[in-house]
Structure 1
């Protein structure tokens, strides 16, 4: 699958935060979104995800078989974790909602370092562990495009290395990724799109 955006403007309430955006990602490519707070990074991700309509321009996902399921995962800056739902139950809920096309629940929790916490209520997890649980959703349902908003938030050094490895593995399988972040992510050959100050 490839992603092409041309002349794209995004914003809220008719107010453009970023305009004249051009993106062209082929299989195996990733893009880092940079810029100050309020520049439109999160809004651009929401627009690419189809959760906000573009104010101008076009977005095309070429080469994706709709019968294989949705083209993308959107992982926002909130983790979508309910405190009184178990860790494994949380991931099982997301797998049931999105489709069980990737790793098993146990394997995904092992991959993100949460196998020992599978039976705990998610509310007992630290902020970094909750972020790892949110990232595990990407593993239980395979989708070609990952849209990630501040995915390294609250992650320690080991968690950031885990994120980089998950991204590198995804791109190596011809996946695509668009990542809004202020942090350095140790994945080689990511291109960068810098958004300006909010108007």
Structure 2
């Protein structure tokens, strides 16, 4: 068995003075998918934001290949791709400009991968449209194309199926399977099945271990 790439140990997070979750631990290796489940307010988004470095960690450690990511947060940000409830797109730029801009921010050029991402999420006909003119589903597809283009080993996805029709959901599943097959990792908060066989599951209930067991 391959050693874990990502190890989370005793992680705790507070929000607005309230303990959202406490003592969370898990490990993921190449090709692993972790589905975060639980009711609204149980901490799924807070956990993803903590992993992404967007929310301070109250206690515990996040390690990548055995090294605490807090020691080099810039390198850690370069290893992950984040999709939240907001798509992280610039409304006055076109679909194509958003994708190219995102890649250049990461220090790379899209190259041939750009055309693949546009085709995969059926965005070619929309590539010259400003994002502010798109529907919710079209914006979500653009954001997912950005995730695929990133080539980041770890994808953090918050309700990735939101606003997607059946065709776009199938495109996402294909992209997820390709990423996992290449040894990538995915952590996704979801209220519905992602349609990927054999994911690990972490059911968040919020609070301390004693409160969760009650």
Give the structure-1-normalised TM-score. 0.91
Q: What residue in structure 2 maps to residue 160 of structure 1? A: 169
Q: What residue in structure 2 maps to residue 171 of structure 1? A: 180
Q: What residue in structure 2 maps to residue 34 of structure 1? A: 37
Deviations along 1:90-117, one digit per CA (max 9) or x if unpaired, are: 1111111123366543332112110111
Match among 6, 11, 22 for residue 8 of structure 1: 11
Q: How does 1:88-103 map to 2 (within 5 A)?
A: 88-100=96-108, 103=112
* Separation of aligned partners in 2, 1:68 and 1:179: 18
Q: What residue in structure 2 maps to residue 120 of structure 1? A: 129
Match among 61, 69, 84 for residue 76 of structure 1: 84
For the Cα contact (< 8 Å) 2:82–2:147, is it kept in 1?
A: no
> May I ask how many residue pairs the two structures share in their alignment?
198
Considering only aligned residues, what root-mean-square deviation do their CA atoms show, in Å?
A: 2.2
For the Cα contact (< 8 Å) 2:100–2:109, is it kept in 1?
A: no
* Separation of aligned partners in 1, 2:52 and 2:15: 15
Q: What residue in structure 1 maps to residue 52 of structure 2? A: 49
* Separation of aligned partners in 2, 1:145 and 1:108: 18
* Separation of aligned partners in 2, 1:153 and 1:119: 24
Q: What residue in structure 2 maps to residue 195 of structure 1? A: 204
Deviations along 1:125-179, one digit per CA (max 9) or x if unpaired, are: 2111110100111222211100111111101111111111111110000000100
Structure 1 residues 183 and 68: alpha-carbon distance in aligned structure 2, compared to 1, 3 A threshold:
closer
Deviation at 1:14, TM superposition (A): 4.1
Unpaired runs of 5+ in structure 2? none
Q: Which runs of 4+ in 1 moved over 6 A?
A: 66-69
Question: Which deviates further from its counterpart, 160-169 or 80-89?
Answer: 80-89
Q: How does 1:98-109 map to 2 (within 5 A)?
A: 98-100=106-108, 103-109=112-118
Give the structure-2-normalised TM-score. 0.85
* Separation of aligned partners in 2, 1:111 and 1:37: 31
SS of equivalent residue, structure 2 residue 170: helix
* Separation of aligned partners in 2, 1:192 and 1:116: 37
* Separation of aligned partners in 2, 1:89 and 1:150: 25
